[in-house]
Structure 1
Amino acid sequence: MQFHDGIMCILYKFQTIIGLFGNCFLLYLYSFKIIINQRIKLIDNICINLVFSNILMMLFRGIPWAMEACNQKNFMNDIECKIIIYVQRVSRGTSLCTTCLLSVFQAITITSCGPHWAKLKTSVLKSIVPACAFIWVLNLLIDLVVPLYVSGPRSINNSQLTRNLGFCSIDIYAMRTLKIVIWKTFFDAVFVGLMSITSGYMVLILYRHHWQVQHIHHTSFNPSASAEIRATKLILCLMSIFVCFSSLSSIFIIVMDNSKDTKQWVVNISAYFSLIYPTISPFVLMSSDSKNAINCNAFNRMKKSYKHSSKNRE
């Protein structure tokens, strides 16, 4: 094992463990809200959707890359490679769409609209759950053809026409000639563009709010408005993290596509950057929700009461 492989092995293991722990713990917090019959907000449905896509990313991208970086090569057959690459692409696309939906939701929420827009706003917000389901169906269908051009590392016939990922290989020539790849690029660009537009709009709202705070003697304090501002800053933070590290990952992908002899460390770094967002996002979401601490305390109280009742029975 070379030195850079050893470094990537440690980084992948640490990233995968932290990412799985953060997302699973956040999923537990949302599940606990349901158990104690606490009201689930619309934004929580979007966050749960994001957590599921993050968990799939860590399981089907983080673990295989960690095994490959730790010199565990040729451990998959063709079928396993097809499934893993397919789930990787679906979860990545779902993460993009869900983050975009989160930004659109918050932009609609903080919009101060007149009475004639109120019904439209209400109907849009009620469509959040169907939108989450539609995101999964859409990404499952778009990447349905990808497994046809994925094979195990032992099936490589021409290294110039395939990209060796260590544990799998992809027929680059066939993928480039597919019209669906052009559609997928356009698909990603639309959602990134929509995120940029809603981000700009929310920044404008935050600027107006800051201006009003400076002239606080002309306005009254509104706790709900303050909570919306905090949520808006959170979502802007999430989008910044996503765009930043997705862009870094894309730069390395462009380098790979234009290089005749792609180094494995370039492939590893590209995959590592693509996993930073699903690793960090659950902790950003947990830090923003003050009710998470309340849920943890409630869970501890339930455990103590259960133990106390068990002792009394004895």
Structure 2
Amino acid sequence: MNLYDIILSIGFCSHTAVGILGNSFLIWLFLFMLLTGHRLRPIDTILAQLACFNSLLLLSKGIPQTMAALGLKNFLDKNGCIIVFYLHKVSQGLSLNMTCFLSGFQAITISPSSTRWSEFKARAPKYIIPTSSLFCIAHLLLNIIVLENVGGLQGSKNHSELHDYGYCSGIETAKVSSILFGVLVSLHDAVLIGLMIFASGYMILLLYRHHKQNKYIYMANLSPKDSPKIRAIQSILLLMSTFVSFYSLNSILISYMYLRKPRPWLIQCSSLLSICFPTFSPFVLICSDSQLLKYCCVFWGRNAPDI
């Protein structure tokens, strides 16, 4: 094993371990609060599902890539390849959908009651589970294409028709089909990211207006920099910039790889980028969400601070 493989294995292993630890803690935190009789926010249901899908994404992508980087090449047969790729595509799509859903739900929640969204705002929490179930069913059905376009190297007669992903391979389809599939995937991601940016921008605008209207209150008690509204804006910008940065870079790499036969280092970079947001998102949420910090204090048996 050369130095490059060692560095690569350390990168995948550390990302996967830290990400699974963070998301598992977030899931356990919600379960603990629920089992001990504490009242959870409606948005916590979305956060818990996002943590579950991020964990599945890390398990289906990070662990196989780590094993491949450690020298265990092509250890999955055709059925193993199909299962891993299918779980990865489903969890990746659901992670994007739930992040977009989170932004939209937050925007509806903080919208003024006098707007036309007021009636829907009151009923929005009831739609969380049905909407999440619809997302799951849609991605389970749409990603069936993976079952046809993935195969193991061991069962291949023509290795030149396959892209080697280290632990298994993906069948290289016809040029037109590859371009069409890449365009559809990119369009789907672009629409969801666009909706996410719009919802986040709407929230920032509302919080900015609210802050200006109550500026004299903040000036009398604390500096604008330390106000809860400013901290809320910063947390939204931080989560959004984290997601959009990693996802945009990965989308660019994926689009390029659909057009040309990818080199191994491009595949590895794309794989590493695809698990960056699932790795860092639980820590971004815990550090920026004051309610989650209170949950942590309750979990550790300490008095929750006034945040």
TM-score scaled by structure 2?
0.86
CA distance in 1, matches of 2:184, 2:152: 26
Contact 1:32/1:295 (<8 A) preserved: no
Please report the RMSD computed on the Cα atoms of aligned residues, expressed in angstroms. 2.7
Worse-matched range after superposition: 228-237 or 40-49: 228-237
Contact 1:106/1:232 (<8 A) preserved: no
Partner of 2:63: 63
Letter in 1 for 2:154: R
CA deviation map 1:97-122 (0-9, x unaligned): 00000100111111113176422221
What secondary structure, in the 3-state scheme, does the structure 1 residue paired with 2:163 have? strand
Worse-matched range after superposition: 91-100 or 125-134: 125-134
Q: State which of 293, 298, 301 in structure 1 corresponds to 2:296.
A: 293
Q: 1:175 to 1:283 in 2, by over 3 A?
A: farther
Q: 1:113 to 1:152 in 2, by over 3 A?
A: same
TM-score scaled by structure 1?
0.84
Q: 1:227 to 1:128 in 2, by over 3 A?
A: farther
Partner of 2:305: none
Partner of 1:29: 29
CA distance in 1, matches of 2:116, 2:219: 27
| Structure 2 alignment gaps of length 5 or more | 303-307
CA distance in 1, matches of 2:157, 2:190: 33
CA distance in 2, matches of 1:103, 1:122: 17
CA deviation map 1:16-62 (0-9, x unaligned): 11111111111110110111011121110000110110110111111
CA distance in 2, matches of 1:255, 1:157: 26
Higher Cα Rg: structure 1 or 2? 1
Worse-matched range after superposition: 76-85 or 139-148: 139-148
Partner of 2:14: 14
Partner of 2:48: 48
CA distance in 1, matches of 2:153, 2:218: 68
What secondary structure, in the 3-state scheme, does the structure 2 residue paired with 1:39 have? coil
Partner of 1:207: 208
Give the drift of 1:217. Answer: 7.9
Contact 1:33/1:40 (<8 A) preserved: yes
Partner of 2:119: 119
Superposed, which structure 2 residues align to 1:244-283 within 5 Å? 244-260=245-261, 262-283=262-283
Alignment pair present for 1:154 and 2:154:
yes
Letter in 2 for 1:77: D
Identity across the alignment (%): 37
Give the drift of 1:251. Answer: 2.4
